[in-house]
Amino acid sequence: MWAVVPIKGFDAPKQRLADVLSPQERGALAEHMLRDVLAALSNLEGVVVISGDEEALYKARWLGARVMSERQPGGYSAAVGQAGEVLAGEGVDAMMHVPGDVPLITPDEVAQIAELNPAVPAACVVPSRDHDGTNCLALWPPDLFPPAFGPNSFHRHCQIAGDSGVQPVILELDGFALDIDTPDDLRLFCAGQYDCGSLRYLQASGIAARISQS
């Protein structure tokens, strides 16, 4: 199984964190989170980082990932769909989409998804902690159906899978559940006792202490 990690870039990403982090802090946090995510995915057959940002692709390549440029600025779903089509065309049997902002995922959680070994075609959907978003979408084959991320995507992906004749596997995984997208997500993350580079950055920079007082 391959993983596909879409990222916008490190030039002031995460606009919903703009009230609590500066553009430079948001960029540094995004890069640290990508490092944590790629480390957790390192036991897979391969990892593709897809982006329209050349600097982000350069850094992802330096971190050991295969990189892919977005064909056109079609958004998050289009990027995942493009990578899935390319991998399917190369004969890859399965892929999992993993966002770049889930720094708490672990190799064990990744293995739980990769080792499902379902009857093909198949899909696995891992929800965000509020059961609104999709923090991992695994497909056998990679181009089983076009992804549809955004608000309510967890339920939407389950519906799309069903409409495709597939009963999706739903996994609740703690590491995948917390994506760092809003100030509340960031506060929850900073309050935890986690061993990851992203939290060490937030603590060493003083951001974690600042966030806890806001």
Per-residue pLDDT tens digits for 111-126: 999 999 899 999 999 9
Q: How many beta carbons lie within 10 A of that of residue 198, not counting itself? A: 25
pLDDT at 13: 81
Checking if the pLDDT of 210 tops 90, the result is: yes
Q: Which CATH superfamily is domain 2-179 in?
A: Spore Coat Polysaccharide Biosynthesis Protein SpsA; Chain A (3.90.550.10)
Structure tokens, 129? 């902690």
pLDDT, the chain, mean: 95
pLDDT at 73: 76
What's at 127, amino acid-wise? P
Categorize the per-residue pLDDT at 166 as very low, low, confident or very high, splitting at 50, 70 and 90: very high
Structural contact between residues 77 and 137, judged by C-beta atoms closer than 8 angstroms:
no
Q: Classify residue 157 by burial, with Cβ atoms within 10 Å: 0-12, 13-18, 19+.
A: buried
37: nearest Cα among 66, 55, 63: 63
31: nearest Cα among 47, 19, 13: 13
Q: How many beta carbons lie within 10 A of that of residue 22, not counting itself? A: 12
**68 pairs with which residues across the strands?**
50
Checking if the pLDDT of 11 tops 90, the result is: no
Q: Which of 71-75, 97-101, 194-198 has the lowest mean pLDDT?
A: 71-75
| All structural domains of the chain with their residue ranges | 2-179
Checking if the pLDDT of 212 tops 90, the result is: no
At residue 23, the 3 state secondary structure works out as helix
Q: Is the peptide bond before 151 cis (omega within 30 degrees of 0)?
A: no
Categorize the per-residue pLDDT at 83 as very low, low, confident or very high, splitting at 50, 70 and 90: very high
